[in-house]
């Protein structure tokens, strides 16, 4: 329910003699809450109460904003002046929480990772400023000046390449600024954060005269778009190219959850299998993994607000990565009479192969990968889901199916979408799960 009441108990000996309900009623403050639907043909302006005049003390407002599922939301700060550290704007995204405060501030635009957004404004009982003016608009990633990841094992990793004004793509060479731009690119591509960075030989230094590589731009810690970074024009001094991995959709963070090691988890062959095993259609679940065991739980059972974040001192078994197991899945391929899928894992980045039986021919591409569309949170298969059709020619149907999908041939398929182009070999497919494996649901203690 959008409208609700915030309660504050008064420390007064006199009021203490009254009934409890009357104390709560006298001290209550109503929260104004607004539900907004963002139509992509125009933007929405959100302002503080009384803007451009000073906002009142004790103000509390919230906005819940929803854009079409295939869009993300861009928040632009046109004017911002709040009492420093006391009055706040909190932006809650699917994978992030950001707090803004301060007088006469200029913030870079914020780009969400999904099509929903929650903005909250609160002011204290003293001190007032002129407030804020914020524009909320749709952001279509395919039209954004962003980077891309190439030659990676999954859509969330690869060599970092940036576009030039002429439309060319250049690989980023090793540089002290590479780590900051990696975080910007992961966010702008729709991933919930930057995981790791590495450097591999890419002949950047020897090819610098031809301009095949470029230095990373300078991005400050509060930058969320590549266009807000400052370009570096000097030549590359290293032959190494920058290779990055972004966190997959649904990643909620790394926490020290030592009590989880006391539970009975199950071993798994990949993060995708762990998350796929925790997925249910009835309730929202989360997957917790230390890369040795996988634990499944409900969101209500695990409270992450007070849980300590991972640090360099955290032991490997206590270092738990937490994922929302209800998002990031492609459509489940339908069962086909004349063939079978090698895996039922449909999470982001997964590869599935369809093999046709004797007497059936493969119609379509037998190898599919779950890739981002406009955002990794709502992925799609990179091609139309294939089918096995009756051949009517005895064993020839079986031979055709093998020619298309058999792993001995190790076919390489090129995946193209608005975000990136990558090459995938089906030999890297996830290990098919045991169909007798039931999905455990463990109570977090």
Q: Are strands 339-341 and 351-356 parallel, antiparallel or unpaired?
A: antiparallel
Q: Is the pLDDT of residue 15 over 80?
A: no
User: Is the distance from CB of 389 to CB of 338 less than 8 angstroms?
Assistant: yes
DSSP assignment of 109-176 equals -EE-SSSEEEEEEE--SS----EEEEEEEEE-GGGS---EEES-SSTTEEEEEEE-TTS-EEEEBP-T
Residue 52: asked if its preceding bond is cis (omega within 30°), the reply is yes
Domain ranges of the chain: 4-139, 143-246, 251-324, 339-428
pLDDT at 279: 87
- Mean pLDDT check: name the lowest of 25-39, 114-128, 305-319, 324-338: 25-39
pTM here is 0.64
pLDDT at 340: 94
Among residues 352, 184, 407, 408, which one has the least CA distance to residue 172? 184
Task: Give the pLDDT confidence of 213-254 residue by residue, as tens digits.
Answer: 888 888 887 787 888 888 877 788 888 999 999 999 888 888
Q: Is the pLDDT of residue 430 over 70?
A: no
pLDDT at 123: 94
Fold topology of 4-139: Jelly Rolls (2.60.120)
pLDDT band, very low/low/confident/very high, at 56 (cuts 50, 70, 90):
very high
pLDDT top residue among 283 and 33? 33
Collapsed DSSP state (helix, strand, coil) of residue 286: strand
pLDDT at 140: 62
Collapsed DSSP state (helix, strand, coil) of residue 394: coil
CA distance linking residue 323 with residue 275, whole number of Å: 7
Q: Are strands 4-6 and 110-111 parallel, antiparallel or unpaired?
A: unpaired
With b meaning 16 or more CB within 10 Å and e meaning fewer, what string describes 129-166? Answer: bbbbbbebbbbebeebebbbbbbbebbbbbbbbbeeee
Fold topology of 143-246: Mac-2 Binding Protein (3.10.250)
pLDDT at 317: 73
Mean pLDDT, residues 125-136? 91
Give how far Cα 126 sits from Cα of 59, 121, 159, 369, 385, Å: 11, 15, 51, 56, 61
pLDDT band, very low/low/confident/very high, at 71 (cuts 50, 70, 90):
confident
CA distance linking residue 195 with residue 297, whole number of Å: 24
Angle at 423 between CA 169 and CA 239, to 5 degrees: 50
Residues facing residue 134 across a β-bridge:
46, 77
pLDDT band, very low/low/confident/very high, at 408 (cuts 50, 70, 90):
very low
424 phi/psi in degrees, rounded to 5: -125, 130
The tokens for 237 are 């001094």
The tokens for 97 are 């929480």
Mean pLDDT, residues 134-161? 81
pLDDT top residue among 114 and 147? 147
Task: Give the pLDDT confidence of 379-405 residue by residue, as tens digits.
Answer: 999 999 999 999 765 344 444 443 443
Q: What percent of the chain has pLDDT over 90?
A: 31
């Amino acid at each position: 329910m959008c409208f609700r009441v915030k309660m504050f108990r008064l420390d007064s000996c006199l009021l203490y003699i009254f009934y409890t309900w009357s104390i709560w009623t006298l001290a209550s403050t109503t929260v104004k809450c607004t539900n907004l639907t963002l139509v992509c043909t125009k933007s929405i302006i959100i302002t503080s109460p009384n803007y451009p005049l000073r906002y009142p003390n004790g103000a509390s407002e919230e906005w819940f904003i929803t854009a079409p599922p295939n869009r993300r939301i861009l928040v632009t700060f046109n004017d911002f002046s709040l009492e420093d550290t006391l009055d706040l704007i909190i932006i809650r995204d699917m994978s992030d929480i950001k707090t803004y405060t301060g007088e006469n501030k200029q913030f870079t635009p914020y780009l969400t990772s999904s099509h929903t957004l929650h903005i909250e404004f609160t002011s204290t009982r003293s001190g007032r400023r002129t407030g804020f003016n914020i524009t909320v608009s749709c952001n279509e990633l395919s039209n954004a000046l962003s980077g891309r990841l190439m030659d990676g094992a999954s859509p969330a990793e690869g060599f970092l390449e940036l576009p030039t004004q002429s439309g060319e793509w250049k690989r980023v060479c090793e540089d002290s600024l590479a780590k900051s731009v990696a975080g910007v690119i992961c966010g702008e591509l729709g991933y919930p954060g930057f995981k790791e960075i590495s450097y591999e030989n890419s002949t950047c230094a020897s090819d610098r005269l031809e301009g095949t590589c470029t230095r990373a731009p300078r991005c400050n810690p509060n930058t969320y778009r590549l266009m807000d970074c400052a370009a570096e024009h000097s030549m590359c001094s290293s032959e190494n190219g920058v290779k990055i991995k972004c966190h997959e959709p649904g990643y909620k963070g790394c926490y020290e959850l030592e009590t989880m090691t006391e539970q009975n988890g199950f071993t798994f062959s990949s993060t995708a299998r762990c998350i796929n095993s925790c997925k249910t259609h009835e309730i929202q679940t989360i997957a917790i993994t230390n890369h040795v065991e996988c634990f499944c739980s409900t969101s209500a059972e695990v409270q992450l607000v007070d849980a300590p974040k991972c640090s360099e001192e955290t032991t490997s078994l206590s270092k738990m990565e937490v994922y929302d197991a209800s998002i990031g899945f492609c459509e489940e391929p339908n069962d086909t009479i004349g063939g079978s899928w090698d895996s039922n894992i449909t999470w982001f980045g997964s590869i599935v192969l369809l093999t046709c039986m004797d007497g059936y021919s493969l119609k379509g591409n037998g190898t599919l990968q779950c890739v981002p569309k406009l955002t990794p949170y709502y992925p799609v298969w990179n091609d139309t889901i294939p089918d096995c059709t009756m051949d009517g020619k005895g064993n020839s149907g079986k031979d055709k199916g093998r020619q298309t999908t058999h792993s001995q041939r190790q076919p390489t398929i090129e995946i193209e979408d608005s975000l990136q182009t990558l090459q995938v070999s089906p030999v890297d497919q996830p290990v098919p799960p045991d169909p007798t494996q039931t999905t455990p649901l463990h109570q977090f203690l």
